Every structure is written in structure tokens, then in C-alpha cells.
Amino acid sequence: MIHTGQAVVDLVLRVPSVPSAGGDVFASGHEFLAGGGVNVMVAAARDGARVVYAGGHGTGPFGDVVRAALAAESVELTTPADPSTDTGFSVALVDDRAERTFVSTTGAEGAVTATQLRRTEPSAGDVVYASGYSLIHEANRAALLEWLPTVPAGCPVVVDPAPVIGEADLDAVRALLDRADVWTTNEREALVLLRRLRPTTERTGPAEVAPALADATGLAVVLRAGPRGALLAAPGGDVLSCPAPEVEAIDTNGAGDAHAGVLCARLAAGEGLEPAVRRATTAAAIAVTRPGPATAPTASEVDAALGRS
């Protein structure tokens, strides 16, 4: 799996609720660890994929945290540290409903070039992961959209639009859609994109949004629906439900990343999209039972949950 997104550092604060403007709240706990795209890469690596990080990383304490986390999971780097700046960081607020809110900065991960991406040299069977965050950073957007058309046809491109999809330039989104094969998204992001592509849409439920988005994009759509699992829709086709095992959610931060990482790992292993989505849904359910963003299970843990030896 070739990850073209952004690896950052997360400062995770656990709060009863996100304060209103001008308010104040005390955190009941905090963590300082690698996050962002790291969570997707960790999930893919733990599920058995060889993972390559094509993005930027900086020189400084935040860059050190990211590199240590990636090295611990045997994730390969294709570019040296940027000597001019550090890696960026994100403040993640996790409330008592297990929902999360982010405030982020930008560092070396927001200054990727097409030359850096070309160093990955993808070949048939490799899976390319792209993030909607790359469309927000000017340099990353230009690099990704220049490089993606050169990716061999035998390399599936999986796109996770991220919460910022509503802010991304629509022409850039359409260019990304042109080379994407799978669009994996949560409910909110799916509806935001659908309404941008088809402003007159009145669909709101996931069972309606998933096939509508598949038709609007011409892509296979994986819609993550929280405790209900995931929906898999193809253009003009039926919607397949992939239920999640029933669990007690402690922290949803990183659940979508765990899902996307395992999905990419299974596709890179040559599995079909349906079994990949079912496995990813189980992995995400395990992830929400653990505090912290980098909570993706190992392959053996997912196998056990699926009843495999």
C-alpha cells in the first residue's frame, strides 16, 4: 500500500464536550502520539501489508514522533526529512459521546512534490491510498493530480475524502475521481460530496446516499456507517450491507482510519472488494473499543473476531 496522504502528530484531549466559543473545559486525560495518515498505515501494516509512506516529514520533535511510529510498524519512507521545517500537529478533542473534533496545523507533510511521489514506483497489484486532505494543501494537490494519471492501471486507487471534502476545489475533486477506483467515506462526507456533485439531491439516509454517490462518481463506494457497519455500492447496482459486530464504543477516533487501512491491505493482498470491506468493518469495530487513534487490531485479532484460525 502506497500512502500519499499526511502523517502528523496528534495531541488527543478527552473532554466532556467541546466548549462553545469563548468557553473553557478541563480535559480528563490526554495523549501525545503520531496520528493522521499514520493510523491508516499502521492499520494496513498490522493486517499484513507492506506499506510505503510517500508523504513529507519534517526535522524536529514532531517528525521524530512520526518516524518512530512508522518504524515500529516497518513502514518504509521514500523521502528524507525536510531540513527546513517540522511535521505538523493536530489537536483532537474526544467527547463523552466518543465523537472527535480536530484543529490542525501544517508542516512538512503539506509540501509534497510529484518527484517524491514518483519515487514509489508503483507496479501492478499495489494499492494507492489518497486523502482528501491532499486537495487542501496547494503543493500536495498539484503533486497528486500530476502523478496519479501515471499510476499503472493495475494499481487500484482508494480515496478517503476526509472531513474537508466540502472545502476542496471541485475541479480538483473531479480530477481525483477520474483516477480513483474506490471511494471510502463516512456518512457525513458522502452526503457533502453528493450534494456538491448533484446539488438538487434530497437523499439523506446511508442506504440512499451510497448508491446515489456511486452513480454520481462512477465508482465503487464504501460508506462507513458507524455501529451499523458499512455499505458497499456500485454504479447502477445493488447496495450490499456489511454489518459490524456489536461492541461498546470507547473512542471512535481512528476507526475510519483502521477501516481504510485494512481495506487497502486486503486489496493489496489480492482479495475482492466485498471480503475486504467485511474484514475492514470488523477491524474498525475492534478499534473503537480502545482509547486512542492508533488502535487498529492485528491480523490475528481480526481473524479471531471473524472466527478464523
Model confidence over 273-294: pLDDT tens digits? 999 999 999 999 999 998 876 7
Can you read off the three cell numbers belonging to residue 220?
Answer: 465503487
Return the residue matching grid coordinates 472527535: 100
pLDDT in tens, 45-64: 999 999 999 999 999 999 99
| Complete domains list, the chain, with CATH | 2-18+28-305 (3.40.1190.20)
pLDDT in tens, 75-131: 999 999 999 999 999 898 989 887 878 888 999 999 999 999 999 999 999 999 999
CB 168 within 8 A of CB 162: no
Q: Band of the pLDDT at 32, cuts 50, 70, 90?
A: confident
Return the residue matching grid coordinates 456489511: 242
CB 169 within 8 A of CB 196: no
Task: Say how far apart CA 138 and CA 161 lie, in whole Å.
Answer: 16
Q: What is the mean pLDDT of the chain?
A: 94
**Averaged over 224-228, what is the pLDDT?**
93
Taking the alpha carbons at both ends of the chain, their separation in whole angstroms is 25
pLDDT of the residue at 217 = 97
**Averaged over 40-49, what is the pLDDT?**
98
Q: 60 versus 200: which is more confidently predicted?
A: 60
pLDDT of the residue at 309 = 55
pLDDT of the residue at 12 = 86
pLDDT of the residue at 308 = 77
pLDDT of the residue at 202 = 82
**Averaged over 235-261, what is the pLDDT?**
91
Answer whether residue 147 shows pLDDT above 90.
yes
Q: Band of the pLDDT at 222, cuts 50, 70, 90?
A: very high
**Averaged over 288-302, what is the pLDDT?**
88
Task: Say how far apart CA 126 and CA 269 lie, in whole Å.
Answer: 9
**What is the pTM for the complete model shown?**
0.92
Of 58, 129, 55, 117, nearest to 88 by C-alpha is: 58
**Averaged over 5-11, what is the pLDDT?**
93
48: left (phi over 0), alpha (psi -120 to 50) or beta: left
DSSP state of 244: P
